[in-house]
Structure 1
Amino acid sequence: MVASRPWRSVRARTTLGATLVVAIALLIGAVSFYGILSSSIHDSTERAAEQRLDELAGRLDGPGGRGVDSLEDEIVQIIGRDGTVRAASEDARDDLGSASLPVADHPRTLSIDGHAHLVVSDDLDNDETLVLAVPVDDDAETLSTVAVLLAVAVPLLLLLVAITTWLVVGRALRPVTRIRQEVDGISAERLHRRVEVPASADEIAALASTMNRMLDRLDSSATAQRRFVSDASHELRSPLATIRQHAELAQAHPATTSIGELAEVVSEEGLRLQGIVESLLLLARLDEGGGAHQEPVDLDDLALGEVRRLRARGVDVDGSGIRAARVEGDPRLLGQLARNLADNAVRHAAGRVAISVIPEGSWVFVTVEDDGSGVPDDERDRIFERFVRLDEARSRDAGGSGLGLAIVQGIAAASGGTASVDVSRWGGARFVVTLPLAS
C-alpha cells in the first residue's frame, strides 16, 4: 500500500491541476459571457426605446402634443423650454404627477415608483422635448437568472471535470502501476522475467518495451559476468594446478625430479598466470573508462615495430601497406593492440602475415591478416568476447588465454574506434581496427 502512494499523489496532483485550469477558464468565460450579455441586452433595450421615441415623435402634429394624453402603459412627457410638463401620458401622471423626467443628450437610468427605467428624450420642432421612460426590470431579471445559472453550472462542470480527470488519470496510471509491481518483483535471480507490453501502442507500451530492453541488457550483463568469472577461475586454476602437480611430484619422488625441470615449469606457469592477471586488470581498466593518457601516437611506427619483431622471429610479414597516420590515444594501449593482433595472426597463420595502416578521410584502418583457416561467419562477433577461443585454439600450446582480442576491442572502443574481422586475401582472417585520425 505504501508503494502505491506516489501514483495516487500523481493522480491527485494531475486532477487538481486540470481542475484549476478548467476553473480559471470557466470563470473567465462566465464573466466574459455575463458582461457581453449585459451589454447586449442594454443596447437592445436602448435601441427599442429610441425607436419607440421616434414613432411617438412622428405622431405628434402641433403644439401641446396632441395624442400623448391617450397613451396607456407608457410613461411619456412633453416638456417645454422652461422645464414644465406640457403634456403627459396616463401612467406618467399617475407615477410622476407634475414632476418632469430629466432631459439629457444620452439615455440614463433612474428609479420610478421603485422600478428601474431607461429614460430617452428627443427635441420636437416647437422647442419642446419628448421624453420616454422604458422599464428595464425584465432586463435585470434576465441577467439575474443567467447569473444564477452560471453560479450553478460552473461548479457542476468543475465537479464533472474533476471526476472525469480522476478516472482517466487513474486508468492511464494503472498499467504504470502494474509495470512497477512487475519490475519490483524482478531480482538478480529472476532477470529472465519480462514486463508485459500492452497492445495500446502508446507511451505506456513504449515504457514497457524500454523496461524490457533494460532487463535484456541487465540479463546479458549478468550472464556475461557469470561466464567471465567462471572462465577466469578456470584459466587461473589451470596453471596453479600444473605448479601444484609438479611440486607434489617433486616432493613425492625427489630422486627422479630435477630442480631445473621444476623451476622451468614454475617459471612458465607463473608467466602465464602473470599474463592472465595483467590482461584482466587491463580489461577492468577499460571497463571503467580506460583512464588512458591521451597524446599523439604514430600508428605507422607501432606497426613497423611489430613487423620488425615478427621478422626477427622468422615470420614472413608483408609491411608494404603501412602509411603514415597519427591518432590521439595512449601509446602503451595502442602498442598492446598492435601486439595482440600480430601475435594472434602469427598463432593462426600457415606461413604469411600482412600488416597495413591506411588513412582514409578522417579515419585510419589498421589491418592485420593471415593465411590461416579464418574465422567462421557465426563466430565473428563472439571471437571478441572474453575467454572465447575457437576449437582449433583450445589447446594450451596453440591458443592464448582468450583475452587478447577482447583487449583489442576494448582498446579500440576506448580510443573512439571499432574492431572487426572478415576474410583475408589468402582466405584466412583479416582483423580491421578503425580509429579516428588526430585533428
Structure 2
Amino acid sequence: MVDRLRRLRPRLLRLLRLLRRLRRFVPRSVRARATFAATAVVTLALGGSSVALLAVLHTNLLRTARDSAVEQAGKVVELASREHLPPVLSPRGGASVWVLDADGKPVAATPDLLFRPLAAPPAPKLPGPHAPVPPAPVPHAPGPDNGLLPYPSGEPPLMLGPRIHDRRQQVITLSVTGPDGPLTVHAAASLRDVDAAGDTTGTALAVGVPVLVLLVAAVTWRVTGRALRPVEAIRAEVAEITGHDLHRRVPVPHTGDEVARLAVTVNATLDRLEDAGLRQRRFIADASHELRSPIAVLRTQLEVALAHPDPELWPELLADALEDTVRLQDLAADLLLLARLDAADPVAVELLDLTALFADALAARTADRIPVTAQLAEGAQVLGNRTWLTRLLTNLVDNAQRYATSRVKVQLALQGPLVVLEVSDDGPGIPAADRERVFERFTRLDDARSRELGGAGLGLAIARDLAGHHGGTLSAEPARTGARLVARLPKAGAEQD
C-alpha cells in the first residue's frame, strides 16, 4: 500500500500544479465568476441529462423491438406446434419471421423476406422482314434444394431475401416441434427506427443544449450585473469619502435584499466614524483648553515670582504652582488612561473580592471633605483588574465628594448574577435630561463650580469605560435627593452557574 501511494505521489503533484495553472484562467470579477459557475453547472447538468436521456431512449426502444420480435416468434411457435405452417406467414407486426427445419432449409417466412419474380419485360419490337427472330429465354427451373419456398397453389417458389443478414436487427430464436418436425423460428425486429429516433434526439440535443447554455450565460451575466450595480455604486461612493467628507452616505437601493442591508450597514459605519471624528476633534479641543488653562496660570505665577523676588510671596506662589502642577499631572494621567481604554489594551485580571478591595480603598481616604458611609455585602467576587476597579470606585466617590452637601453613601450588594455598586450623595443631583450627557468627556453641568473644585469632566467618562471593560454598565439613576450612580458588574462564576 505504501509503495502504491509513493507511485501515485508524482501524479498527484502534477495534478496540483495543473490546477494551480488553471487558476490563472479563472475570472476575477464576481459577475464573471457567477456567470462561469452557472454556465458550468448548467452545462454539466444538461450534458449528463442528455446522455441519460439518450441511454434511456435507446434502452426503451431496444426493449420495444425485442418485445415485438418475441411476440411474433411466440405466435409462430404456437401455430407451428398445432399445425403445418404455410409457406408465407401473414405479417402481424413489425417483426420479420422465418422458420428453418432441422437441415437449415427455409420452411416459412413473412412476405418481406421473400424474393418475388420481377415484372414481365416489355414486349420486343417485331422484327423486320429480314431481321432474325431472337430465341425465347429459357426459364431456370430451381431444384428442390436450392433454398426456394414454393408458392401455394402451385405458384413459382419464393427465395429468402438478404434482409435476414441485416446487422441492425434485434433477432430472437425459438425452437418448436410440431407436425412439420423440429423447427427453428427466427424473429427479427428492425432497429432502423431506434437509430432514427436516436439520431433525431441527438441532433435536437446537440442544437438545443448549446442554445440553452448560452441563454443561461446571457441571463446570468445580465442579472448578476444588475444585482451588482448597487454594489459598484457603494464602492465608488466609499472610495470618494475622505476624512473631511464623513458626512456623505452611500445610496441605499430599494430592493430590500442583502445589497440594501449592506448599504445600510455601511451608512451606519460612516455614522460611527463621523461621530468618532467629531468626538476626537472635540476631545482634542477640550484637552487643549484644559491643558492651556493651568499652564497659563503656572506661567503667570512664575513670571510674578521672577518680577517680584520677594521671599515672603514665594511660599504662596509655590503652593499655587504646585497645585496647578498636580492638576496638570492628574489631567495627563486621565488622558493617558482614556487613550489606553480606547485602544482596548489587554490587562491582567484576577479573582477579586470587592468587599475587601473597596473597604481598603475607602479606609485610605482620610482627607475627604465629607465622611463616607459604606454598606458592603459579603461574597461580592468578580474577575477584573485591581487598579481599574479601585479607580472606578475612586472616581465615583470623588464625584460625590465634589457636589455633596453632608452625605456620601457607598453600597455594594448582590443581585442575582450581578454585583451592584451604588454611590449616592445629597447634592444638587443630575437633571433627567443630563443623565447620559454627564458621561461624555469634558462635560460639566456647572462649569464654573467644576473648575473651582478642580474637575476636568473626565471622571465619570473614565468610570463608565472602566465598567464597560469589565463587562458591566454605569448609569445615573433617579434619586429622591442628590445624585445616584449605579455600576453593575458580572459576578464571578455567573456564566458557569
Q: Structure 1-normalised TM-score?
A: 0.87
* Aligned with residue 98 of structure 1, among 147, 151, 156: 147
Q: Which amino acid aligns with 2:303?
A: E
Report if aligned partners of 2:410, 2:421 keep a CA contact under 8 Å in 1: yes
Residue number in structure 2 paired with 1:105: none
Of 371, 374, 380, 2:426 maps to: 371
Residue matched to 1:119: 171
SS in 1 for 2:289: helix
Tell me the residue number matched to 1:429: 483
Give the alignment partner of residue 258 of structure 1, picking from 268, 292, 313: 313
Aligned partner letter, 1:36: V
Larger radius of gyration: 2
CA contact (8 A) 1:300 1:322 kept: yes
The aligned counterpart of 2:294 is: 239
Structure 1 residue aligned with 2:265: 210
1:314-373 C-alpha deviation (Å, 9 max, x unpaired) = 524322355442322222222221111111101111111111111233321111100111
Tell me if structure 2 keeps the 8 A contact 1:298–1:325: yes
* In the alignment, structure 1 residue 438 sits paired with structure 2 residue 487: no
Match of 2:156 in 1: none
Q: Does 2:407 align with 1:387?
A: no
Q: Separation in 1 of the partners of 2:368 and 2:222?
A: 79
Per the TM alignment, residue 301 of structure 1 is displaced from its structure 2 partner at its CA by 2.8
For 1:22, give the aligned amino acid: V
For residues 192-240 of structure 1, give each alpha carbon's deviation from its aligned partner in whole angstroms, at most 9, with x where no partner exists.
1111211111000110011011111111111111111110000000001
Q: Distance in 2 between the 1:70 and 1:403 partners?
A: 113
Please state how far the C-alpha of 1:80 moved relative to its aligned partner: 1.4
Residues 374 and 410 in structure 2, CA contact (< 8 A), matched pair in contact too: yes
- The equivalent residue for 2:97 is 76
2:17 aligned with 1:17, yes or no? no
Structure 1 residue 99: deviation in Å? 9.4
Name the Cα RMSD after superposition. Answer: 2.9
Contact in 2 for aligned 1:326/1:438 (Cα 8 Å): yes
**Where does residue 277 of structure 1 map in the other structure?**
332
Amino acid at match of 1:215: L
Contiguous gaps of at least 5 residues in structure 1:
1-5, 101-109
Distance 1:117 1:161 in 2: 41
What's 1:406 paired with?
461
> Which residue matches 2:184?
129
Deviation of 1:7 after TM superposition, in Å, equals 9.8
CA deviation map 1:158-189 (0-9, x unaligned): 11111111111111111111110011111110
> 3-state DSSP class of the match of 1:190?
coil
Q: Tell me the CA shift for residue 27 of structure 1.
A: 1.0
> Deviation of residue 277 (structure 1)?
0.4
Moved more, 144-153 or 112-121: 112-121
Instruction: Name the counterpart of 1:358.
Output: 413
Distance 1:99 1:360, change over 3 A: farther
**How many Å apart are 1:59 and its aligned residue?**
5.7
Q: CA deviation at 1:56?
A: 4.5
Provide the secondary structure at the position in 2 that maps to 1:198.
Answer: coil
| Alignment correspondent of 1:87 | 108
- Deviant stretches of 4+, over 6 Å: 69-74
- 1:142 aligned onto 2:162: no
Distance verdict in 2 for CA 1:124–1:131, change over 3 Å: farther
CA separation of 1:294 and 1:116: change in aligned 2, threshold 3 A: closer
Aligned to 1:420, what secondary structure does the other structure show? strand
Q: Is the 8 A contact 1:121 1:131 kept in 2?
A: yes
Shift of 1:148: 1.2
Deviation of 1:304 (Å): 2.6
Whole-angstrom CA distance in 2 between matches of 1:157 and 1:437: 65
State the SS of the aligned residue for 2:411: strand
- Pairs aligned (count): 423
Cα offset, 1:150, TM superposition: 1.1
Q: Which amino acid aligns with 2:67?
A: R
Structure 1 residue 63: deviation in Å?
5.8
Shift of the 82–373 alpha-carbon distance from structure 1 to 2, 3 Å rule, reads same
Q: Which amino acid aligns with 1:119?
A: V
Which residue of the partner structure matches residue 3 of structure 1? Answer: none
Partner amino acid for 1:412?
Answer: A
What amino acid is the match of 1:40?
N
Q: CA deviation at 1:437?
A: 2.6
Q: Which letter maps to 2:170?
A: L
- TM-superposition CA deviations, 1:269-289 (whole Å, max 9, x none): 111100100111111222222
More off after superposition, 342-351 vs 130-139: 130-139
Q: Which residue of 2 aligns with 1:227?
A: 282
Deviation at 1:113, TM superposition (A): 5.8
Q: Check the 8 A contact 1:374/1:423 in 2, yes or no.
A: no
CA apart distance, 1:74: 7.4
The alignment status of 1:349 with 2:349, answered yes or no, reads no
Q: CA deviation at 1:135?
A: 2.5
1:46 is the counterpart of 2:66: yes
Q: 1:7 to 1:64 in 2, by over 3 A?
A: closer
How far residue 255 of structure 1 moved from its aligned partner, in angstroms, is 5.8
Offset from partner CA, 1:351-398 (integer Å, 9 cap, x none): 111111112333211111001111122221221121111126654213
Q: Taking structure 2 as the reference length, what is the TM-score of the superposition? A: 0.78
Q: How does 1:149-160 map to 2 (within 5 A)?
A: 149-160=204-215
**Can you list the C-alpha shifts for 1:400-427, whole angstroms capped at 9, x where unaligned?**
0111111211221222222111123x42
Q: CA deviation at 1:309?
A: 4.9
Identical-pair percentage:
40
